[in-house]
Structure 1
Amino acid sequence: MQHDAFIGQVQDRARLDSRGAAESFTRATLETIAERINPDLADDLAAQLPQEIGENVRRVTDQWDPTERFGQDEFVQRVASRAHSDQPQAAYAARVVFELLDEATTGNVMGKVRQGLPDDLREFTLAGSSGDA
């Protein structure tokens, strides 16, 4: 999937009013994922994404702290803070980004990403984008 198609799908599926908002939620979600997974896995994920999107993962990996653990609530709060949004909209958009990451990657990369997440966050990422924003 190319950059413009990915961002366009985030905008459409998350019902965002601009491409800028879609870019912001994509960046925020990927940076927060990168804080939660090991750098080797983050590199594998970034390598399968369009360069402009993958850079959102790579820029955070050098700051990875293996002792930092957080679940769904903290994940959503970080996405909301980075995207300058409220938490319900951040949760909805982050689920959309996860859905698109599933479609854009191969080789069970997203399965491996989810294996490293706590149960509540793993379930959140599998919830899909159905529901209200």
Structure 2
Amino acid sequence: MNFDEFTGQVQHRLSLPGTGESVRAIRATLTTLGERIQEGEATDLAGSLPMEIDYYLTDAVEEHGQRFDWTEFIERVWEREGMQDRDDRSDAAYHARVVLDVVNEIVSPNEMRQVREQLPADDGWDELFDVIDQNA
């Protein structure tokens, strides 16, 4: 999947008005995920993504492997996506789920399993994979 197809899928599934909005959702999600998972895993996951967006995972704003919970993950996505005009974080959570679902379509099942293994199962992180699990 190339960049245009990837961003087009995100734009369509989220009913966003343009490419800019879909790129913001992708950047917010992948940058935050890149901060949460280990650097090697971020590099592995990025290897299958279009080169225009793979660096969102590998060039995390903060260091890789940070320990933060699902609520903090959504807070960071919400801020990065520029959703401050909305008090409700549910849109940010849904955007992250959809972006990860599109990622799931182009990476190996083993790669997505490794990402899941780096996130605690008892901290709400399963919500990140809701769309993927529904489509399985």
CA distance in 1, matches of 2:43, 2:49: 10
CA distance in 2, matches of 1:109, 1:92: 22
> What is residue 42 of structure 1 aligned with on the other side?
42
- Provide the identity percentage: 38
> What is residue 106 of structure 1 aligned with on the other side?
108
Instruction: Identify if the C-alpha distance between structure 1 residues 4 and 112 changes in structure 2 by more than 3 Å, giving closer, same or farther.
Output: same
Q: What are the Cα deviations for residues 101-131 of structure 1, in whole angstroms up to 9, with x where unaligned?
A: 11011151111011111223431122118xx
Instruction: Identify if the C-alpha distance between structure 1 residues 92 and 55 changes in structure 2 by more than 3 Å, giving closer, same or farther.
Output: same
CA distance in 1, matches of 2:105, 2:67: 26
Which ranges of structure 2 fall in alignment gaps of 5 or more residues?
none
Residue 92 of structure 1: CA displacement?
A: 1.0
Name which of 99, 104, 107 aligns with 1:97.
Answer: 99
Instruction: Identify if the C-alpha distance between structure 1 residues 62 and 93 changes in structure 2 by more than 3 Å, giving closer, same or farther.
Output: closer
Matches within 5 A, 1:1-133: 1-60=1-60, 63-64=63-64, 66=65, 68-85=66-83, 86=86, 87-119=89-121, 120-128=123-131
Q: What are the Cα deviations for residues 16-39 of structure 1, in whole angstroms up to 9, with x where unaligned?
A: 122111000100100000011110
Residue 63 of structure 1: CA displacement?
A: 2.2
Q: What are the Cα deviations for residues 83-114 of structure 1, in whole angstroms up to 9, with x where unaligned?
A: 10142211111110111111011151111011
TM-score (norm 1): 0.88
| Equivalent position amino acid for 1:24 in 2 | R
Mapped contact 1:95–1:127 kept (Cα < 8 A): yes
Mapped contact 1:46–1:54 kept (Cα < 8 A): yes
TM-score (norm 2): 0.86
